[in-house]
Amino acid sequence: MNLRYDIAYPSVRLPVFARNVVATSHALAAQAGLRILQQGGNAVDAAVATAAAMTICEPVSNGLGSDAFCILWDGQRLHGLNAAGHAPAAWTPAYFRGKYGAGAATPPRRGFDSVTVPGAVAGWVALSQRFGRLPLADVLAPAIDIAERGTPVPVVVQRKWAAATPELQALPGFADTFLPWGRAPRVGELFRFPAAARALRAIAQTQGAAFCGGEIAQAIERMAARHGGSIRASDFAHYQPEWVEPIAIDYRGYTLHEIGPSGQGIAALIALGILGRFDLAALAADGVPSQHLQIEAMKLAFADVYRYVAEPSSMEVTPAQMLDDAYLASRARLIDPQRAQVFAPGNPVQGGTIYLTAADADGMMVSFIQSNYMGFGSGCVEPTFGISLQNRGHGFSLREGSPNLVAPGKRPFHTIIPAFLTQGGRPVMSFGVMGANMQPQGHVQTLVRMLDHGMNPQAACDAPRWRFNQGLSLNIEATADPALVQGLRALGHEFEVIHDSYQDFGAGQFIWRLGDPAVQGYVAASDARRDGLAAGF
């Protein structure tokens, strides 16, 4: 019998309670992390195992050529890791203008000239060496097993795979790697990835050196040279992920922590800093007044983020200036409760991604995100080792005066942002919502539901979402109350109602600490908008 895989009826997910837990957007990857916890690994080991498995299970969103970020609680304090790659040494504005013309505004969306040095693998190694309990070879073993034995392609992954194929099928290495059937897979077809298993073994055996300038990097250099790219093994060898202090803002007695620029996590902090001036708890969670305030706060946040955020050394203002209390109060005063507006940047000087989270009974909690940026990234795949390369270089600008102007060794503007919530200096929740500029919007919408309205993480995750695009334009899920859509339209918001939630509204994973992890454990949630799972023991 040929089974149907359309979503005929709404599905209800319940929160998961456990002392050790992993949540991500593919069930086998979550179980890979759980397997490592059961073998005596800690939450960092589980996170790295899950991240590696996700490169096999959900290649539409990430791969061994991804970038990554992490915020983790080691039992005593928070640590941030920026594993975003930098531009190759050859990348200058003149390089791109010479190839693509003086009118080019950004590097291309696809191909080798969109590929910056991938940072995820170096990030795994850094996490494992500093905080891991098990050998890296043991941690990567579940992903190697999945790559060699294969995994049936699930529903949401298949949809994105099919959607990306027409644009990417002619790019170097893509068809040989991801279209072995001569087409996109069907739901349930077995996808094997032996080339990636070979790469993972080399990474494990060399503690990442094979990727960071060694044989894998050299294979990527040879392929790039054949197809007009300029990335070199020396670019990989010169790359190091960076340990950073997360930036934060207080909201309703809690503190939200994000990785700072060049990522967009500061957008969530700005929006919450504005919303803290309003009594959202007195408003209905799904009512027009509350949702209008949240939309307007996100607009104000993005106006500043898109104007100012870049590699910190290139920014005209500091994150502290953008989060200054008096400045955020002045921005909040711009909101009209009765009217939607288009906001310009302020002047602070005066004042498809995958996400996973893991936690263990000893109290370690990990918030981790990695991404190829757009679906399948650059579309370029090194076939010997199955390295699907991201296209983060498209985030650079070629316009003089832009803070994101491309330069050798510089990081581009980044969309992927893990998040962490504390209270009184103690851990509360590791969480994230993947999906381009939906990510800070998802952070804000789910946190308001939890902190202002007391919803559990799964309920906050399941609730309908909106997504701000630009100007007055928004998308809203078809599951939203029609009265809400009508009321927001009456205030001047311009909506398109979207029935495909995967495309526009991201997907979240949440782990909330209930108390002593060894006794009470955690409550976890996984978003039904993906093929995910929260699993624990």
How many angstroms separate the CA atoms of 53 and 58, rounded? 8
- 214 exposed, middle or buried (CB, 10 Å; 0-12, 13-18, 19+)? middle
How is 31-92 classified by DSSP, letter by letter?
A: HHHHHHHHTT--HHHHHHHHHHHHHHH-TTT--TB-EEEEEEE-SSSEEEEEE-----TT--
Contact in structure between 532 and 30 (CB atoms under 8 Å): yes
230 prior amide bond cis, ω within 30: no
Query: Exposed e or buried b for every residue in 4-37, given b needs 16+ CB within 10 A?
Result: eeeeeeeeebebbebbbbbbbbbbbbbbbbbbbb
Which residue matches tokens 């104007």?
307
Distances (CA, A) of 178 to 54, 169, 193, 299: 15, 9, 9, 38
Catalytic entry in 177, 353, 422, 446: 353
How many angstroms separate the CA atoms of 244 and 319, rounded? 14
Contact in structure between 324 and 351 (CB atoms under 8 Å): yes
> Which residues, including other chains, have CB under 8 Å from residue 110's CB and lie 6 or more apart?
167, 168, 171, 374, 378, 379, 380, 391
Amino acid making up residue 346:
G
Annotation marks residue 353 as catalytic: yes
Task: List, in sequence order, every residue forming a beta bridge with 371; answer none if it has no partner.
Answer: 67
Q: Length of the chain, please?
A: 537
Residues marked active site are found at 353
